[in-house]
């Protein structure tokens, strides 16, 4: 390339740079001159964008509100349908729905009492033991293990697939054998308690005969005459006073009526009048039963006495101690339990056998008991 061409290229580059500088200068001048207009346009654009966004959000919230209201309406209609369908089922299948409702409520009550039972079990590990428990807690501690054993097969079976088709008919036909008090109606509780007490009452006479059989072994002892008087009252159809029973308490601290001195046949029928099986650990289980009864009585005293018990509590206490309260007045139940508490206060760990014989000594000739077996 010669010198002339080179100069021509340089001139072109210079012209381009000059034009670019002129454009930049003009644009900067326009920007400086119309800056307030540009800022105003920017503000207008920002405001318009905000309005657009707000309108969109309002539309979205309105859509959400409308969606929620639709969902709430659909849910309310569905609940109304379910309630209405439940009423239809109750009308068409009243017995089945009644059993189902009792079963579901019973499971909740059973689970609640089971948790409470384990809490009570932990309390008994403290030095205070039964003294820190209320009467109802001791009753629950006494009854709950039996209920858990009785209900366990049905609860386990009901967890299997399609097992409810078998469980519900079975528990409906055999509620006393397969379920516990949590699943029973008030009427069933009374009926089943009476049936259980009736079985116990059939063993009252054998126990009384066992007690009478030991009377001859007391000849020559100072307790013989007074104890013969007490047994004579029972044989003639009346009951001895609680004071007369307590006077003979030494007979239950040793030979012949302490648990370790009782004959096997005597132990067997004594277990039956307290609704206990006649399997292993007979004497030990009888001692535990007597301890529980004694602690219940002491809890009643701590809580203000028999007069503080409700009508239902009085009935439960009488059934547990071997008396049929169904045909009795409230005053009669209170009087009988007061006599029982009097004897129980005199009992200690060495004379627990006396408390096990109190259903005979205080309830053998009760008219309400005779009604069940005659």
For the chain, 374 residues long, give each residue's pLDDT as a single digit of tens.
Answer: 544 444 444 454 545 454 444 434 444 443 444 444 445 444 544 554 554 555 555 555 555 556 667 766 666 665 565 556 556 556 666 766 777 777 788 889 999 999 999 999 999 988 888 999 999 999 999 999 999 999 988 888 878 887 777 887 888 889 899 999 999 988 999 999 999 999 999 999 999 999 999 999 999 899 999 999 999 999 999 999 999 999 999 999 999 999 999 999 999 999 999 999 999 999 999 999 999 999 999 999 999 999 999 999 999 999 999 999 998 999 999 999 999 999 999 999 999 999 999 999 999 999 999 999 87
Q: Which residue has the tokens 């009384």?
A: 208
Query: Distance (Å, rounded) from C-alpha 154 to C-alpha 158?
Result: 6
Query: Quick count: other Cβ atoms within 10 Å of Cβ 236?
Result: 8
User: In the chain, count of helices (H) and strands (E)?
Assistant: 16, 0
Distance CA 129, CA 121 (A): 9
Alpha helices (H) along 202-263: 204-213, 223-235, 242-247
Place of tokens 């009643």: 300
Confidence at residue 35, expressed as pLDDT on a 0 to 100 scale = 42
CA distance 329 to 47: 87
Per-residue model confidence (pLDDT) at position 36? 43
CA–CA distance, 81 with 75 (Å, rounded to integer):
10
Give the pair of three-digit tokens for residue 83. Answer: 């309630």
Which tokens belong to 191? 């009926």
User: Which own/partner contact pairs does 341-347 have at CB distance under 8 Å and 24+ positions apart?
Assistant: 341/297, 341/300, 341/301, 341/305, 341/306, 342/242, 342/243, 342/246, 343/242, 343/245, 343/246, 344/293, 344/294, 344/297, 344/298, 345/297, 345/301, 346/246, 346/249, 347/249, 347/290, 347/294
The whole-number pLDDT of residue 37 equals: 47
| pTM of the complete model | 0.75
Nearest-angstrom CA–CA distance, 296 and 267 = 23
Decide: residue 223, CB within 10 A, 0-12 exposed, 13-18 middle, 19+ buried: middle
Torsion of CA 307, 309, 314, 318, to 10 degrees: -80
């Amino acid at each position: 390339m010669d010198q002339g061409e080179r100069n021509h290229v340089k001139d072109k580059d210079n012209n381009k740079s000059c034009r670019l500088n002129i454009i930049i200068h003009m644009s900067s001048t326009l920007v400086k001159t119309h800056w307030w207009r540009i800022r105003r346009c920017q503000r207008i654009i920002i405001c318009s964008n905000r309005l657009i966004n707000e309108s969109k959000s309002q539309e979205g919230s309105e859509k959400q509100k409308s969606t929620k209201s639709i969902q709430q309406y659909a849910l309310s209609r569905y609940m109304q349908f379910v309630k209405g369908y439940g009423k239809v089922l109750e009308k068409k299948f009243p017995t089945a729905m009644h059993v189902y409702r009792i079963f579901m409520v019973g499971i909740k009550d059973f689970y609640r009492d089971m948790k409470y039972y384990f809490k009570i079990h932990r309390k008994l590990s403290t030095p205070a033991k039964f003294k820190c428990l209320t009467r109802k807690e001791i009753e629950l501690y006494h009854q709950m293990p039996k209920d858990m054993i009785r209900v366990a097969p049905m609860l386990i079976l009901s967890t299997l697939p399609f097992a409810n088709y078998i469980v519900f008919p079975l528990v409906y036909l055999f509620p006393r054998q397969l379920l516990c008090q949590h699943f029973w109606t008030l009427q069933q509780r009374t009926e089943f308690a009476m049936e259980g007490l009736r079985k116990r009452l059939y063993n009252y006479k054998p126990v009384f005969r066992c007690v009478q059989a030991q009377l001859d072994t007391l000849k020559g002892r100072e307790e013989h005459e007074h104890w013969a008087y007490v047994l004579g009252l029972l044989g003639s159809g009346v009951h001895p006073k609680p004071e007369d029973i307590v006077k003979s308490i030494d007979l239950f601290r040793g030979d012949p009526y302490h648990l370790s001195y009782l004959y096997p046949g005597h132990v067997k029928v004594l277990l039956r009048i307290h609704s206990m099986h006649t399997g292993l650990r007979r004497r030990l289980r009888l001692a535990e039963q007597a301890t529980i009864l004694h602690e219940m009585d002491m809890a009643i005293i701590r809580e203000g006495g028999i007069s503080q018990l409700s009508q239902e509590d009085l009935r439960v206490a009488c059934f547990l101690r071997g008396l049929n309260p169904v045909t009795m007045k409230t005053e009669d139940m209170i009087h009988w339990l007061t006599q029982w508490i009097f004897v129980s206060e005199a009992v200690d760990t060495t004379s627990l056998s006396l408390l096990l014989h109190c259903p005979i000594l205080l309830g053998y000739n009760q008219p309400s008991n005779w009604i069940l077996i005659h």
